[in-house]
Amino acid sequence: MSKALIIVDVQNDFCEGGSLAVAGGNQVARDIATYLANHGAEYDVVIATRDWHDPDSDNTGHISSEPDFVGTWPSHCIGGTPGADFHPELWPSGERYPHDEVRKGQGAPAYSGFEGINAAGESLRSLLDDANVTEVDVVGLAFDYCVKATAIDAARTGYRTRVLRDLTAAIHQDGVADAAMRSANVTITESQTRD
């Protein structure tokens, strides 16, 4: 039995100053770096997801010049641009994280990390299964979109799944995402809670 940490979309465009910023994104990057420095050894594998949209593509309508901020969004996380890069404070100095990276959203909308693949074409599920993972913790941006989708897919796939709420930031603080995750058997807790 192994445990994985999935770090969702902590990229420049989703942090303050980015094209689709989530309030608190910069702090989430710093907090995850501190968490990794203190608790990274507790995980057998650390996998990061990245939103990664093809240049000159609207990703089948996902990117729009007139976004509704529900299903369509302004241009963001275009592959090869600084906005698609991980936040510069995300990885602890001297540590070798992530162990792997999964890119999603290439050519079609994708919120869950389980919709992406790594550079070798392997899915997040295959990476977790190859490492004999049975438990996952999910952190990152944004709590009510890609973190939620990734956590729900993890739980539905059969992994014991927790979201470490204090290592996320949300666009909407309405509780809807919390309810959706809990109904999918995702535990929402704090990073200081160790059970």
Query: Mind telling me the catalytic residues?
Result: 9, 104, 146
Neighbours of 137 (CB within 10 A): 25
Among 102, 95, 126, residue whose Cα is nearest residue 51? 102
Lookup result for tokens 């940490």: 5
Integer CA distances (angstroms), 98 to 37, 40, 57, 149, in order: 12, 10, 28, 20
Cβ neighbours for 126, distance < 8 A, ≥ 6 positions apart: none
Residue-level length of the chain? 195
